Structure 1
Amino acid sequence: MSPSLSRAALYARIPGGDDGRRMLWITLINKAGTGLWMGAAALYFTLVAGLPVAEVGILMGISGTAGIAGAPLAGHLADRFPLTRVLVAAQVQQALALLALLTTHDFTLMLLCSAAGSLGDRGSNVLTRLYSARVGGADRIRYQAVQRTVSNAGWGIGGLAAAATLGLGTTHAYQALLIGNAVSYAVVAALTLRCGEPKAPSRVVTGSGTRASAVPPPNPWRDRTYLLFTATETMLFLDDAVLQVGMPLWIVHATTAPHGLAPLLMVLNCALVVFCQLPLSRFAGTAQSARRLLLPLGGFFTAGCLAMTASSRGSTWTAVSALVVAAIALTVAEMLHATASWELSVALAADGAQGAYLGVHGLASSAQRSGGPLLVTAVIAAGPAAWPVLGAGVVLTCAVQSRLVRSRLPDPALSVPTVTVSEH
């Protein structure tokens, strides 16, 4: 078989049909733009806007708090309005919020702009996950793994461009990265308008074809197990804050490593996900197997924290080597969590209220966006010995979550219904 035919066959095997493949292109462009900005955001606030480290942590923490409302709001709207149109609104909101940052260096105004962007970001994340679940159907685990692979390829492209631009070290260079991200949101909003609306599962049909009786839609706010699961997820999303906020600030303020290493480590993170996320998805074919990934997740996160401690001692090369090890270990933890979290969040969600449930689950990453930067900057302020303590907290959380969901998951725990129909 020729290389072109092989590529065509691989392309055809992607779940979701044309709309699924179109959304993967949207993801690539979106994350390439995000990669331009996120690796430089903390440094922009510090070096261009002139904010001290403490204010950077406060700004990112409070804006993350405002973004918490974006997840349940987006999930609620997606159960009532066309999913793609709600997603477009979130993308446009993010573009406008970013461009507004260019107009001021005032802390309060920058906080308001960041909060508006965070609201759209948290909402669009939930909407994208919901789109993946609907368009992927029974192959949702594989589709989500492909999407994360494409997503991190985009991150890598943006991160490489950011690393080259940051080498200039000028205000205009940082502003160019911000504008590039805003333009990417505008482009993906236009492309999303061309996507078809995926069908939403609304009820399950029994083997005899009898329709289930009409019942009120399940309410995730009354589902104690799901709420507790979401609460533990908040801690497990901390790899995001460590990699995007903690590591750049740690490099600048606690190590002798060059500042340009920060975006390069983000590129390393993306490359590892591109090559490893899809193979790792095979270990979560059922919800029970996804639950078993929690133990190694905690181990790799702790290893990354120990490497962060080691990076503050010794020569520049020692610092660089330790930071590379930390980035690799934290990335493995990130991939394990992404696989487990994706399957468990959908498996535990009730049919007929998928958007509402995933919206509630989105509170975990939103809360991490709020509290994560504050916690990570507190760890940085406390010194090298605080990193292993953070790792121990993640290990404990993994153990708690594993015990919590075990009784909720049947064995075998194939979480995709055999037959579903849609009212659309």
Structure 2
Amino acid sequence: MRRTPLKDRIPGGTDGRRMLLIGFIDKSGTGLWATSIALYFTYVSGLGIGQIGLLVGVSGGFGIIGAPLAGRLADRFPLTRLLIGGQLLRAAALLALLTTDTYALLLLYSAIGAVPDRGTNVLTKLYATRVAGPERVRYQAINRTVGNLGWSVGGLGAAAALSVATSTAFQLLLIGNALTYLVMATLTLRCAEPPAPVRVAAAPGPHPDATQPAPPTSPWRDRAFLLFTANESVLSLHDSILQVALPLWIVHATDAPVGLAPALMVVNSVLVVLFQVPLARFGATTEAARRLLVPLACLFAAGTLAFAASAAGGPALAIAALTAGIIALTFAEIVQATVSWELSVALAPAEAQGSYLGVHALAPATQRFAGPLLLTGVISAGPLAWPVLGAALAATCAVQSRLVRRTLTRPSLSVPTATVSEH
């Protein structure tokens, strides 16, 4: 049997493949710079630990507005122009750091750069949604896999540069990341503007949704979508569990060696690369994605129970339980990403798709702020807190499933839609 060429198995055609390359370059540059931000401000700018913490925290908080702002603009302007503008602004804000060691200016430039950085994630997702059509879940899975590979490449490059540990090396890493934004902007210029979706009018005759009121066009007035987004912030906790709780739990509550933490993070990355795309087919429709909330609840429960068991005593048990827990939570991460991609688009009215996805992007941002605080509390409370957290996550899955089933009485973007080009 003749195999389909790889390029033909990627949704979105030439523009879809080009945007995947842009995503790879983006994550490579971010991986190059993200691991050296604190060291740059320490060795080049001469900042203290407290100053660096405040700078990163303030710029991160300021950057939260980038997601809803980008979504709002995407409903009014062509996506490609917004992407190019965001990439150029990211490059300019980053290069501006080279011009000063004044703390107020470093804070200002970092905050300015954080806005398009967060906004670009929304615009990229929206572009994928439009260019890949009904295959958007598969496309996003491929994009996430490519992004993980990009992070790895960038991280290896940063590790090589940081072995030198000179001011020049840190400055070259910053310039290297800025150059990736310029390359991305150049490639985006060659991408066609994808058509914006418009819902097909309902066929004449009785319709089960005929008595339903028209959905609000602003996500801020859509209570169901705001609740969905709030639930999403809870279901995104796997990120803080892996990034924050895992190393702290290993050190403070188990007999496992400290070196197990980075090893398990490698396991996480490898599993995501191997399984994100194959498993995406199980959430390719709205109803299929909603049904995945049941196995997601089971994975959360299994992972948190394994973390609790790792504190029972002995290095062998700790290593085995933590490994099992990471495997379960990695598959929870994969499933949750698939569910989130499909349902967030399905719940968004076509006429306000950008605004809705911009608000939805606040879920991971909220989790990144609140998650570490919550999980340090779980660690302090001891092993029994993990099953409680698992039960809370499973209950959130149940609430989310019921909410989505009730809300999706209006037409879903998973069914065929008519489209018109943006001009």
Q: TM-score, normalised by structure 2?
A: 0.79
Contact 1:132 1:143 in 2 (8 A): yes
CA distance in 2, matches of 1:111, 1:328: 39
- Where do 5+ consecutive residues of structure 1 fail to align? 209-214
SS for the counterpart of 1:417 is: coil
The structural deviation recorded for 1:418 is 2.3
**Which deviates more from structure 2 when the two are superposed, residues 33-42 or residues 331-340?**
33-42
Q: 1:46 to 1:277 in 2, by over 3 A?
A: farther
1:78 matched to 2:77? The reply is no
Residues 371-409 of structure 1: CA distance to partner in whole angstroms, max 9, x if unpaired? 334434555566666555443432232222122112123
**Which deviates more from structure 2 when the two are superposed, residues 90-99 or residues 228-237?**
90-99
CA distance in 1, matches of 2:171, 2:252: 23
The structural deviation recorded for 1:267 is 4.3
CA distance in 2, matches of 1:388, 1:373: 18
Amino acid at match of 1:418: P
Quick one: which of 57, 61, 68 aligns to 2:64?
68
Q: How does 1:136-147 map to 2 (within 5 A)?
A: 136-147=132-143
Q: 1:169 to 1:124 in 2, by over 3 A?
A: same
1:270 matched to 2:269? The reply is yes
Q: How does 1:12-411 map to 2 (within 5 A)?
A: 12-38=8-34, 51=49, 56=53, 62-98=58-94, 112-162=108-158, 168=163, 170=165, 180-205=176-201, 218-247=217-246, 257=257, 262=262, 265-306=264-305, 324-379=323-378, 386-409=385-408
Amino acid at match of 2:25: I
Q: 1:64 to 1:312 in 2, by over 3 A?
A: farther
CA distance in 1, matches of 2:86, 2:64: 14
CA distance in 2, matches of 1:389, 1:68: 29
Amino acid at match of 2:147: S
Contact 2:198 2:417 in 1 (8 A): no
Q: 1:188 to 1:383 in 2, by over 3 A?
A: farther
Larger radius of gyration: 2
The structural deviation recorded for 1:124 is 0.8
CA distance in 1, matches of 2:21, 2:395: 38
The structural deviation recorded for 1:106 is 8.6
- Where do 5+ consecutive residues of structure 2 fail to align? 205-213
The structural deviation recorded for 1:368 is 2.1
Q: 1:307 to 1:365 in 2, by over 3 A?
A: same
Amino acid at match of 1:51: I
Residues 61-86 of structure 1: CA distance to partner in whole angstroms, max 9, x if unpaired? 55443222111110111111111121
Contact 2:199 2:417 in 1 (8 A): no
Q: TM-score, normalised by structure 1?
A: 0.79
Amino acid at match of 2:414: V
Q: 1:276 to 1:119 in 2, by over 3 A?
A: same
CA distance in 2, matches of 1:109, 1:258: 38
Identity %: 57
Amino acid at match of 2:74: A
CA distance in 1, matches of 2:305, 2:97: 36
Q: 1:414 to 1:81 in 2, by over 3 A?
A: closer
The structural deviation recorded for 1:123 is 0.7
CA distance in 1, matches of 2:109, 2:228: 31
The structural deviation recorded for 1:288 is 1.9
CA distance in 1, matches of 2:39, 2:247: 8
CA distance in 1, matches of 2:194, 2:59: 31
CA distance in 1, matches of 2:101, 2:315: 33
The structural deviation recorded for 1:284 is 1.1
SS for the counterpart of 2:361 is: helix
Q: 1:222 to 1:342 in 2, by over 3 A?
A: same
**Which deviates more from structure 2 when the two are superposed, residues 302-311 or residues 70-79?**
302-311
Measured on the aligned residues, the alpha-carbon RMSD in Å equals 4.0
The structural deviation recorded for 1:163 is 5.5
Count of matched residue pairs? 409
The structural deviation recorded for 1:236 is 1.5
